[in-house]
Structure 1
């Protein structure tokens, strides 16, 4: 019987696997895709998340690959700075008094490389989980016609979780009355807009936006109506950018754009028997502030720790339920209220 099976090789799944491997627990990761995701999704890592990744031995490499955000700025459309906050206010509270802007695709290869140092780890790409079935002292996972047994399963297989569906768990979702438009530019906004911070909120009664610096480009995030259907043509997007940032000293070159709806969904419990749910398989949020992926990484680290403690005889099985309650409470009491309170100024996609 395998120790633990992790379904999904995204940030949450690989983090959970590394947490388990470092505790000496045999772990198998099953990922339906043939390789790590190449599409950029989340791009923000918060100080507390960096501290957790530091404990796993990958934070310094991630910091080197990302853009350090050591100050946050608010300005109006004309370019007047309304307020600015240095993140050095966190000195002494964290080892990382800053945010990092980097695609999640910068993190997952680091986690995968770290896992390769542990002999009890087996990562299988191109492996689609078709179902799970619990019984006795373990749980069975079906891939095709083959069943594999494990002590526990961590489901990190995303918003459309196969594991969740195979267990018949409802995952009600509600849409927010807005969507977000994400614009990519390779223009140096910090040169075109003097004194611009790497994270800047532009406030305007007609069209607010958020500017995020990444290592090789900037992202501009707009809130737009849910029923907006205008084509994302380069002229349309460029016009929106020019209207939002009239103070730019030169042209802003748009390299791409996409839009996405904002929704909310939370499992009734992050635990179903011997299955623990983490990340998008457990929750979706408005994505404001990049909180959903960060919450998923915290889910994953703690899930690995609590399973290791139970398997090692250092905690009773009831610790699993305590973990599930605690992580869900964090989402409902802190993550979602914080995101929804700031939704009027969509800040970034998670």
Structure 2
């Protein structure tokens, strides 16, 4: 059988997308260039929105109760305590572990994961996409699918072969990253800005591995094809800190920059991009990995709806409309953070002023919600709707505990099947709509009112965002319009 969706890239974005599709009974093939999982981790944290997403698919518990929680966030290395904000938290999770959990889940759902294979050609027509693939033995074959998704990272082959425009700026700084097994002991996590020189960080990843990261300001960029060495890492640390570290036996070495680029369109016909394939920026605060997971969950149910024959008009186009502005905002905030780091002679007074502003809780809230993705909300419009929009619409549904006739369930648990959910919290007062017309797409859940959800009725999309809400449930026409808009 030809695959329905071909996904290039088996990182968190590609694997999450594959799981979403499989949950909706859509066949997918993941083509991943690495023959075996690398055990390497560029990303080190999962923010609240990603954790909520994993929870709504029953995956959060697989990380275990002993997963460390990071108590702070920063903006341009100006640190903010998260304890004032009980809905904000970050798990310290190396990317390889997230990939392992998603890989296991994908295999449980029957995803066809092909390792050691790369995409070498892409052609699309009105009926589908043909993808040339080269396997580990050097043999080439073709896959045929209805859609192709490039989730193959910042150097995306799919993006290049399909001709996506990728404007932006090139790197002017460069950094070196190393996971080291032999090193001098450090006391907790160290992150330091050295004025006019760069940034240095040392992060223990476990009992026997230390991550060292540097970013050098105004340093000559090495050639892209130059291998990263332990000597380069040592030299970079010394150039910034003035001290040469005693380190040895690197587990992994890599180089990164501050290029900032984003495709102008997330879709070209039957080809989509997600994660770093669609947007790259300086790795500040783990925003890239988390944005990629959210891309996947936004796109997955929409692709499945189209393939399963009930996707309403313009549903697939809403992927770009919703996710492109989010990544653009991430790129802007990382650029703003870099602008607050260098050159210190010019921006020192601005950093001092920022430090004063951070004494205000609402300023901290604004920045924390920005860099963790909590502030993400989508603009929905229903031109034929009589009532105006409810304040909850376009925002993520709070994970309240619901008292139903079948016992207590969290909102996340109602989303496990990957369907939309109509929450009736009216106590029987809402004017009903027969959701049986959307059987298999929308599940009806009746529960007692809860303080966290200030509405009598809420229609929740499979990705956890509220498509419609009403204060007393007296607008069945508006609800039906929302059901048709999102669920056909």
TM interval, short-chain normalised: 0.7 to 0.9
Work out the CA distance in 2 between the residues paired with 1:277 and 1:99: 26
Give the secondary-structure state (helix, strand or coil) at the position aligned to 1:289: coil
Selected match of 1:108 from 99, 107, 116: 99
Provide the residue aligned with 2:28 in structure 1.
27
Provide the residue aligned with 2:465 in structure 1.
none
Contact 1:178 1:223 (8 Å CA) reproduced: yes
Work out the CA distance in 1 between the residues paired with 2:245 and 2:68: 20
Can you give the 5+ residue segments of structure 1 that lack an aligned partner in the other structure? 77-82, 191-195, 245-250
Question: In the alignment, is residue 316 of structure 1 matched against residue 312 of structure 2?
Answer: yes
Q: TM-score, normalised by structure 1?
A: 0.78
Per-residue CA deviation, residues 194-249 of structure 1 (Å, 9 max, x unaligned), is xx6x5x643453555345443344434333133177x86376466568658xxxxx
Provide the residue aligned with 2:83 in structure 1.
88
Work out the CA distance in 1 between the residues paired with 2:153 and 2:178: 24
Selected match of 1:221 from 213, 217, 233: 213
Work out the CA distance in 2 between the residues paired with 1:242 and 1:336: 28
Contact 1:30 1:127 (8 Å CA) reproduced: yes
Work out the CA distance in 2 between the residues paired with 1:264 and 1:220: 23
- Displacement of 1:284 in angstroms is 0.8
Aligned length: 320
- Displacement of 1:164 in angstroms is 2.0
Structure number with bigger Rg: 2
Contact 2:200 2:240 (8 Å CA) reproduced: no
Per-residue CA deviation, residues 93-140 of structure 1 (Å, 9 max, x unaligned), is 3xxx42223321111111111112123x21111222222222233222
Q: 1:241 to 1:178 in 2, by over 3 A?
A: closer
- Displacement of 1:285 in angstroms is 0.8
Per-residue CA deviation, residues 55-100 of structure 1 (Å, 9 max, x unaligned), is 23333333668542123589x9xxxxxx864323332x3xxx4222
- Displacement of 1:294 in angstroms is 1.4
Contact 2:176 2:236 (8 Å CA) reproduced: no
Work out the CA distance in 2 between the residues paired with 1:155 and 1:235: 35
Q: TM-score, normalised by structure 2?
A: 0.58
Work out the CA distance in 1 between the residues paired with 2:7 and 2:234: 45
Q: 1:170 to 1:228 in 2, by over 3 A?
A: closer
Provide the residue aligned with 1:294 in structure 2.
290
- Displacement of 1:273 in angstroms is 0.7
Selected match of 2:186 from 179, 186, 189: 189
Contact 1:9 1:36 (8 Å CA) reproduced: no
Selected match of 1:174 from 164, 169, 175: 169
Contact 1:269 1:325 (8 Å CA) reproduced: no
Give the secondary-structure state (helix, strand or coil) at the position aligned to 2:18: helix
Residues 143-292 of structure 1 aligned to structure 2 (within 5 Å): 143=133, 146-182=141-177, 184=179, 186-190=183-187, 198=189, 201-205=191-195, 208-216=199-207, 217-224=209-216, 225-227=218-220, 233=231, 236=235, 239=238, 243=242, 253-255=246-248, 256=250, 259-292=255-288
Work out the CA distance in 2 between the residues paired with 1:153 and 1:320: 13
Provide the residue aligned with 2:112 in structure 1.
122
Selected match of 2:331 from 332, 336, 347: 336
Q: 1:175 to 1:84 in 2, by over 3 A?
A: closer
Work out the CA distance in 1 between the residues paired with 2:282 and 2:15: 23
Contact 1:10 1:37 (8 Å CA) reproduced: no
Work out the CA distance in 2 between the residues paired with 1:109 and 1:67: 18
* Superposed CA RMSD: 3.2
Q: 1:314 to 1:65 in 2, by over 3 A?
A: farther
- Displacement of 1:3 in angstroms is 2.1
Q: 1:65 to 1:325 in 2, by over 3 A?
A: farther
Contact 2:167 2:264 (8 Å CA) reproduced: no
Per-residue CA deviation, residues 272-304 of structure 1 (Å, 9 max, x unaligned), is 111110112111111111211211111111111
Give the structure with the higher percent strand: 1
Can you give the 5+ residue segments of structure 2 that lack an aligned partner in the other structure? 135-139, 223-228, 343-488
Per-residue CA deviation, residues 236-265 of structure 1 (Å, 9 max, x unaligned), is 466568658xxxxxx975345654322112
Work out the CA distance in 1 between the residues paired with 2:114 and 2:265: 28
Contact 1:4 1:153 (8 Å CA) reproduced: yes
Q: 1:241 to 1:56 in 2, by over 3 A?
A: farther
